[in-house]
């Protein structure tokens, strides 16, 4: 096995076991070795959290295990974030993002933010547990082209509709494109609640946002 493969394997295992110190060390070693930040993310860290979710589902992991795995991943993200987000690109728009009220999952949201920043968006992150009036206030204050709402629980997904209703009532619905996402969310659900779009991951979030606000990808490289 090459050292790169060992690093990816180690990152996966230590994230799964919630060991932040080796996760941070392996992330630094991988980068020093010339590995791409996105490779560490997509080939080790995200698969580890997917496995955490599976183990939780079958009753082998409980909330504390989920939490320490999430913290371990966060340790790596702190190092990777500036590397992924810093492109020096000119701002191409403003994106307001938040996890809906009642929900504190933020890793998926944060990942979308990093990729959006990397693509040149100014991201206003409202954090987690965001009530409808905060989304409305942020739209008024920051005048974004797009708003993203993240929900990871079937019990908090209905907040999309509440948020969209509040945005409508404030007379702002035609001012912004609304994207929804999170593990249990689907395209069908997005349509039912009246969102403009749904994306299953961070890179498609960037693609969809650009498409919705009328920014076509440049064909010239
Ligand atoms: C880590 C984790 C936690 C951590 C969260 C830490 C944190 N800071 O985020 C902690 C321990 C706190 C937690 C708590 C709970 N959790 Co939890 N958690 C998870 C876990 C394992 C991983 C989630 C994650 O971050 N994945 C990594 C990211 C990268 O995932 P991703 O989905 O691929 O993200 C992409 C897309 O979703 C999309 N996206 C995300 N947001 C947005 C927004 C927009 C606008 C767009 C366009 C796209 C988009 O882009 C992302 C990046 O590519 C999942 C399992 C799973 N399979 O999702 C359970 C899971 C979400 N949790 C679950 C549950 C039940 C809970 C608790 C209720 C447990 C409890 N009994 O207390 C609590 C609820 C707390 C609350 N009120 O929110 C269930 C939800 C079941 C359901 N369908 O409702 C899951 C699915 C586990 C399971 N299989 O049962 N959890």
Looking at the fold, whether 110 and 184 belong to one and the same domain comes out as yes
* C-alpha–C-alpha distance, residues 47 and 30, integer Å: 17
Query: What is the band of 177 on the pLDDT scale with cuts at 50, 70, 90?
Result: very high
Protein residue with its CA nearest to atom 68 in ligand 1? 153
Residues spanned by the domain of 123: 93-212
Cβ-based neighbour number of residue 103 at 10 Å: 22
Ligand 1: which atom is nearest the Cα of residue 204? 47
pLDDT in tens, 66-98: 889 989 998 999 999 888 877 666 788 999 999
Q: How far is the CA of 203 from the centre of ligand 1 (A)?
A: 18
Looking at the fold, whether 81 and 104 belong to one and the same domain comes out as no
Looking at the fold, whether 101 and 198 belong to one and the same domain comes out as yes
Site to probe by mutation for ligand 1, drawn from 12, 17, 105, 117 as the one with most ligand atoms within 8 Å of Cβ, is 105
Site to probe by mutation for ligand 1, drawn from 53, 81, 114, 177 as the one with most ligand atoms within 8 Å of Cβ, is 53
Query: What is the band of 169 on the pLDDT scale with cuts at 50, 70, 90?
Result: very high
- The domain that holds 160 is classified in CATH as 3.40.50.280
First to last CA, the chain: 35
Write down the pLDDT at residue 89.
61
**Predicted structure pTM score:** 0.89
Q: Choose one of 28, 51, 85: the last residue of a domain.
A: 85
pLDDT in tens, 127-140: 999 999 999 999 99
Query: What ranges make up the beta strands (E) of the chain?
Result: 93-99, 121-125, 146-150, 177-181, 197-198
Write down the pLDDT at residue 216.
67
pLDDT in tens, 191-210: 999 999 999 998 899 999 99
Write down the pLDDT at residue 218.
45
Q: Choose one of 31, 55, 85: the last residue of a domain.
A: 85
Q: Which residues contact 46 (CB under 8 A, 6 or more apart)?
A: none
Q: Is the C-beta atom of 187 inside 6 A of ligand 1? A: no
The yes-or-no verdict on residue 22 having pLDDT over 50 is: yes
The yes-or-no verdict on residue 220 having pLDDT over 50 is: no
């Amino acid at each position: 096995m090459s050292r790169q493969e060992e690093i990816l394997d180690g990152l996966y295992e230590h994230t799964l076991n919630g060991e932040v110190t080796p996760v941070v060390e392996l992330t630094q070693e991988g980068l020093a070795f010339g590995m791409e930040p996105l490779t560490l993310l997509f080939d080790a860290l995200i698969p580890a959290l997917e496995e955490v979710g599976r183990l939780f589902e079958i009753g082998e992991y409980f909330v504390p295990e989920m939490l320490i795995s999430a913290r371990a991943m966060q340790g790596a993200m702190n190092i990777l974030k500036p590397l992924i987000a810093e492109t020096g690109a000119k701002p191409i728009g403003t994106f307001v993002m938040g996890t809906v009220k009642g929900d504190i999952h933020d890793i998926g949201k944060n990942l979308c933010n990093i990729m959006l920043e990397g693509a040149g968006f100014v991201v206003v992150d409202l954090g987690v547990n965001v009530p409808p009036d905060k989304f409305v206030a942020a739209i008024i204050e920051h005048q974004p082209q797009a708003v993203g709402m993240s929900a990871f629980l079937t019990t908090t997904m209905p907040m999309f509709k509440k948020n969209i209703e509040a945005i409508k009532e404030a007379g702002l619905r035609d001012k912004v494109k609304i994207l929804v996402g999170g593990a249990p969310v689907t395209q069908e659900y997005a349509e039912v609640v009246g969102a403009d779009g749904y994306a299953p991951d961070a890179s498609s979030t960037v693609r969809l946002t650009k498409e919705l606000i009328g920014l076509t990808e440049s064909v010239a490289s």
